[in-house]
Chains A and B, each alone.
Chain A
């Protein structure tokens, strides 16, 4: 109950006109940042960081976290409307969000996305509030072997999504892995696949690839097919929003599962992007309507969105309590804490209770404000679909190019985006799935590091993945998930064989 009292005190800190104004401002800025591809939450927060140096720490953290929530919400918008993820963590939202929008259900998809995201975020904050002492210890049990097993789990839970032909899926994954290899190898310090080009030392940014494959590739495809966006429902229909909200409780299992995955990945800290992919994969596996995933299934929007936001909020806890950032954005905020003169750690909860609980209280308020603000923008964004393609097309391409520029301010990246745009078009034409490539790029890179670190630790013995109960459980779970389609197939064929002999007799 001590936590509850502290939280009430926190609300007293957060519920001032000044702080609520900052929340609204932060969320709006965040939505803008989130909508623009390439300019993600970490960039947005980084840009704002210097402004906060002259503010008091509570106001500063409220502005930054609110921007983060706004960016998380905004990232889903373009995923759904234009198949262009505004944030890496909203890539998985495109899989079902965009088909829904093409079917003229954009309003519904956006509402589902925002409401479930808000639900995930709030559940994440509730967990932080109730279990702040308990869960922080969890992050400390994570070493490289544990990280690798979590990434393996994310991979295995997503791998058999089966939307593409298996062989082409493997090609796509392999391409993703090789793109992730480019640049300096962080384990040995050697340059890989840079061909002595200075621009390649940075490696190929995953954001630029997303902008190219999804954004520009999609534009090329639309141009070729000569169709404008299927004119989605552009009229302002609050009723569609309300009816979608009314249908949301039906998906409570998906929402709880997504939140659980997200909170776990935020605390451990695997990050929101891996969380959203994992949640999507699990939902597809476990849902009765799994076969409809990828064709515009609301569950396919809800699952990654809840996980994405739950991970985003949950990641704040290990940052505050242990100085371990659970996401790229949390890492930037960690730097902010230090500059504001606050040292993360358990003492922060005691010495600066007003800061910690003011921030936690602002996470409740900020997310509620976020949901309200983005829901209010749904009709506005949905209306964008009715703008003629001749106008919106060039705008999107411009935004994509600007986005590619903001990643590192490198001209080389613009060419990369264009090349990947052509590649995205070709992949769609040849029926190669894009998602596995993205997944391999995002998780593959970190999984490789974690795997090699654990191999160095264990002197090259793979048994390190079963050396402790925690890592052993996750690794086994991953392999079971990987094998489950084969086991199911085997069981079917066995059952068929059992049934055959009596028929013959």
Chain B
């Protein structure tokens, strides 16, 4: 690898006293195995996507990539581990949409500006999933019931209070001209238990990812009445998008690569390049699309402006739901 004059200059300007060591390190990156911190448990959505891409990164940089699950506190533990990791390009993390709202929810002093935002890596559309032998055949019937019923008469679940799928439900009812808290939220520990509650009859609607509902949909226990993505999902060709149904609302949960701030510019450039290449590998893409996960890669600037927009939307919804603590 040739020494790029501009990179040397940039590194020199950024940290004059450390210029020499950082150039040496820049040349050598990666000198040891990479660590990718996942703030959620092994086997979950964020973990699965990370491991798929991690396999690709190993191919790109010829180094071991360790996926480390640092769970707890609604993702606070893992996200703060990413933010405070050594900024040498050997530790990155998979951030999930939760980190945008930590401050608003009073959960941690972490936000988009606590990280080096690299790119979103995947989108997971929300859906409207109801019980198969329940009262509603399609979304229109569900929407009508929601409008006729009392506020809070129907319940929804899929994630903890204030989580992504809760916002999906709140945004949907708002777009329908109803209150954000029209659907009473039953917090759950994740998709699987929420779906179980749906089938058991304790919950009226599941607004989590239809990907998670696949097994139960195949078993004719639940029906995906609509999806909240911008287009229909391959796994559910008959489920219309909310846009098609005349409701102006899309909601896609997302995962993203984050890094600690202040990684030396030359190292960062090579890191991002390796990540992008790994993400673009056909086998990585295929593994994601096979599962109904939409791959996405964007520039850091695009991601940053998306994060600030999403923070505004989410903030508004959380305020409507009365969940803002600070």
Contact = CB atoms under 8 A, between A and B. Distances in A.
B192 A345 contact: no
Interface in A113-172: 139-146
B48 A183 contact: no
Contacts of B218: 343, 345-347
A453 interface: yes
A36 B193 CA distance: 30
Interface in B263-288: 287
Interface in A41-68: 46, 49-50, 53
Interface stretch (B69-77, B85-93, B238-246): B69-77
Interface of A: 46, 49-50, 53, 139-146, 183-184, 186-191, 198, 201-203, 321-325, 331-336, 338-339, 341, 343-348, 408-409, 449, 453-454, 456-457
Contacts of A348: 215
Interface stretch (B170-178, B196-204, B302-310): B196-204
Contact of A322 (B188, B203, B215, B291): B215
A301 B76 CA distance: 40
Interface string B197-222: 10111110000000010111111010
A187 B187 CA distance: 5
B316 interface: no
Contacts of B155: 456-457
Given A322-B215, A457-B186, A143 B108 contact: no
B73 A449 contact: no
Contact of B196 (A324, A345, A346): A324
B197 A144 contact: yes
A453 B186 contact: yes
B161 A189 contact: yes
Nearest to B74: A184
A322 B76 CA distance: 30
A409 B48 CA distance: 21
A143 B200 contact: yes
Contacts of B80: 198
B109 to A, nearest CB: 10
A336 B51 CA distance: 11
Contacts of A325: 192
A465 to B, nearest CB: 13
Contact of A323 (B106, B160, B192): B192
Interface string B90-128: 000000000000000111100000000000000000000
A352 to B, nearest CB: 12
B47 A143 contact: no
A202 B73 CA distance: 5
Contacts of B200: 140-143, 146
Given A201-B72, A453-B188, A143 B201 contact: yes
A457 B43 CA distance: 29
B42 A335 contact: yes
A137 to B, nearest CB: 9
B214 A335 contact: no
B37 to A, nearest CB: 11
B290 interface: yes
Nearest to B216: A322
Nearest to B291: A338
A202 B77 contact: yes
B151 interface: no
26 contacts: A46-B42, A50-B51, A140-B196, A142-B196, A143-B200, A144-B186, A144-B197, A146-B200, A186-B160, A187-B161, A189-B162, A189-B323, A201-B77, A323-B215, A333-B43, A341-B290, A343-B214, A345-B219, A346-B215, A346-B219, A348-B215, A408-B72, A453-B186, A456-B185, A457-B155, A457-B186
Contacts of A144: 186, 197, 202
B52 interface: yes
A201 B73 contact: yes
A184 B73 contact: yes
Contacts of A323: 192, 195, 212, 214-216
Given A143-B196, A325-B192, A189 B107 contact: yes
Given A143-B200, A188-B161, A53 B215 contact: no
Q: Bin the interface of chain B by size.
A: 35 or more
Contacts of B291: 338
Nearest to A141: B200
Given A144-B197, A339-B48, 16 more contacts: A140-B196, A143-B203, A187-B161, A189-B323, A190-B325, A201-B108, A202-B77, A321-B215, A341-B287, A341-B290, A345-B215, A346-B215, A408-B70, A456-B185, A456-B187, A457-B155
A320 to B, nearest CB: 9
B160 A189 contact: yes
A335 B184 CA distance: 30
Given A143-B200, A201-B73, A187 B215 contact: no
Contact of A345 (B47, B74, B201, B216): B216
Nearest to B193: A324
B33 interface: no
A146 B199 CA distance: 13
Given A50-B67, A143-B196, A343 B160 contact: no
A19 to B, nearest CB: 23
B269 to A, nearest CB: 28
Contacts of A457: 155, 186, 202-203
B47 A335 contact: yes
B313 interface: no
B170 to A, nearest CB: 14
A198 B43 CA distance: 25
Contacts of B187: 186-188, 453, 456
Q: What 3 A-B pairs are tightest by C-beta distance, nearest first?
A: A335-B43, A345-B215, A323-B215
B247 interface: no
Contacts of B216: 322-323, 345
A49 B107 CA distance: 32
Contacts of A49: 42-43
A319 to B, nearest CB: 9
- Which residue of B51, B185, B192 has the most chain A CB atoms within 10 A of its CB atom? B192
Contacts of A186: 74, 160, 187, 189
Contact of B48 (A145, A184, A335): A335
Contacts of A346: 215, 218-219
A338 B48 contact: yes
A384 B92 CA distance: 43
B44 interface: yes
B55 to A, nearest CB: 7
A44 B212 CA distance: 25
Nearest to A329: B43
A53 B56 CA distance: 13
B294 interface: no
A65 to B, nearest CB: 15
B320 to A, nearest CB: 16
B19 interface: no
A139 B74 CA distance: 26
A49 B106 CA distance: 35
A467 to B, nearest CB: 10
B214 to A, nearest CB: 6
Nearest to B185: A456
Contacts of B51: 50, 53, 339
B8 interface: no
Nearest to B44: A335
Contacts of A409: 68, 70
B162 to A, nearest CB: 5
